[in-house]
Amino acid sequence: MSLLITGGTGYIGSHTVVELLEQGDDVVIVDNLVNSSTKSLDRVEQITGKKSVFIEADICDKGAMRRVFNDHNISSVIHFAGLKAVGESTQIPLHYYHNNVSGTVALLEVMTEFNVKNIVFSSSATVYGENNVSPLVETMPTSATNPYGQSKLMVEHVLFDLAKSDPEWSIISLRYFNPIGAHKSGLIGENPNGIPNNLLPFVSQVAVGRLKELQVFGDDYDTVDGTGVRDYIHVVDLAKAHLKAVIALDKLPGCTAINIGTGNGTSVLQIVNKFKEISGADIPYKISPRRPGDIATVFAQANIAYDVLGWQAERGLDDMIADTWRWQSENPNGFD
């Protein structure tokens, strides 16, 4: 039996494939390469000494997905494939809804046809919206403020309804907080197209001299130093949560949403200072106005992950930043 990993050549997917291969699992990857390249597969093979099966296909293409399920004996799916740029989602919302929502529905339909009813879905802390106070707990009301967040929330509704309609489904929706870091080998890491939107890739590209200066979006929040606080989670810890989730599917019918975070908050300036300390690089920054849609503080309550999956984060901020820096400094232009 194999695990199907959609979006497996991307940032979180490639780190998860490493952990799965090292655990001895057979892995089939489907990715349309819209935001990744097969170079990550070569690196994954270099790290693990093992091969996975790669199929270039779009999850929206039901014919292609049927062939995948026909040709491979799939036991469970880890579904990373999706578009994730918040700003872009406000400009081309239909594309986001089609890819993330219709694409997931198409995948679930094909899974139903082949009687594969186990799936782990990549959700996001963005589904908690703006009105809940951290620590964020899975039972809090959900909402979304942009099409990307809406697409994650809509898929969660689809998954809850599907599980309610058919008790054979086992579904875990992992709500990631802020994934950062890279594999300790320095061979795979986050490789954003164009100017990064997220803090860590931006900081590391400033540190390596690719970008001139960081803009710190607001220093007047009610936080430790006025800058935004987030729950950063090492991508390898996040990858390992997926391995635990796949195991848990067997004994957990229905649909369960689970936070994947550390439970700790770190401010933008704390990140910048730690990055300077670890890299020895200069990180020029200027304080800019708040970014629309940002909130002061977001961090998880991560008890359910421990109680249900037996998972907790093992890597601290020093590892997250040291590993980000190793990846960035050894691959200043990403995989190119």
Q: Which residues contact ligand NAD (rule: CB under 6 A)?
A: 6-7, 9-13, 30-36, 58-60, 80-84, 99, 103, 122, 124, 176, 179
Q: Which does 122 bind (CB under 5 to 8 A by kind): ligand UFG, ligand NAD, none?
A: ligand NAD
Peptide bond into 284 cis (omega under 30): no
Residue nearest ligand NAD, Cβ-based: 10
CB 144 within 8 A of CB 152: yes
Q: Which range touches ligand UFG (CB under 6 A), out of 30-38, 101-109, 118-126, 320-328? A: 118-126
**Phi, then psi, of 152 in degrees rounded to 5:** -65, -40
Per partner kind, with CB cut-offs from 5 to 8 A, the member of ligand UFG, ligand NAD, none near residue 77 is: none
Residue among 199 and 235 whose Cβ is closer to ligand UFG: 199
Q: Choosing from 148, 176, 221, 232, which is the catalytic residue?
A: 148
Do 233 and 260 touch, CB atoms closer than 8 A? yes
Sheet holding 74-79, edge to edge: 53-56, 26-31, 2-6, 74-79, 118-124, 170-176, 254-260
User: Which residue lies nearer to ligand NAD by CB, 77 or 253?
Assistant: 77
* Distance of alpha carbon 158 from alpha carbon 150, whole angstroms: 12
Q: How far apart are CB 87 and ligand UFG at their closest, in Å?
A: 9
Return the CA Rg of the chain. 19
Residue appearing with tokens 């995989």: 335
- The reply to whether 221 belongs to the active site is no
- Of the two residues 199 and 206, which places its CB atom closer to ligand NAD in the complex? 199
Tokens 């959609």 appear where?
6
Answer whether 169's CB lies under 8 Å from 161's CB: no
Q: Whole-angstrom Cα distance, residue 314 to residue 318?
A: 12
Decide whether 54 or 275 has the Cβ nearer to ligand NAD. Answer: 54
- Alpha-carbon distance values, 1 to 4, 65, 94, 170 (Å): 10, 17, 36, 17
Q: Which residues pair with 78 in a beta bridge?
A: 5, 120
Contacted by 32, from ligand NAD, ligand UFG, none: CB < 5 to 8 Å by type: ligand NAD
Q: Judged by CB under 6 A, does residue 132 bind ligand UFG?
A: no
Backbone dihedral angles phi then psi of residue 61, each to the nearest 5 degrees: -90, 95
Q: Name which position in 54, 169, 176, 311 contacts ligand UFG (CB under 6 A).
A: 176
- CA nearest to 137, candidates 150, 129, 128, 148: 128
Cβ burial of 185 (10 Å; 0-12, 13-18, 19+) is middle
Closer CB to ligand NAD, 124 or 166, in the complex: 124
Quick one: 9 or 134, whose CB is closer to ligand NAD?
9
Give the shortest CB-83-to-ligand NAD separation in angstroms: 6
Judged on CB neighbours under 10 Å (0-12, 13-18, 19+), 312 is middle
Site for ligand UFG contains 124 (CB under 6 A): yes
For position 294 contacting ligand UFG by CB under 6 A, the verdict is yes
Contact flags string 226-265 toward ligand UFG, x per CB under 6 A: --x-x-----------------------------------
The listed partner (ligand UFG, ligand NAD, none) that binds 12, CB under 5 to 8 Å by sort, is ligand NAD
Annotated catalytic sites, by residue? 148
Footprint on this chain of ligand UFG (rule: CB under 6 A): 84, 86, 124-126, 176-178, 197-199, 202, 214-217, 228, 230, 268, 291, 294
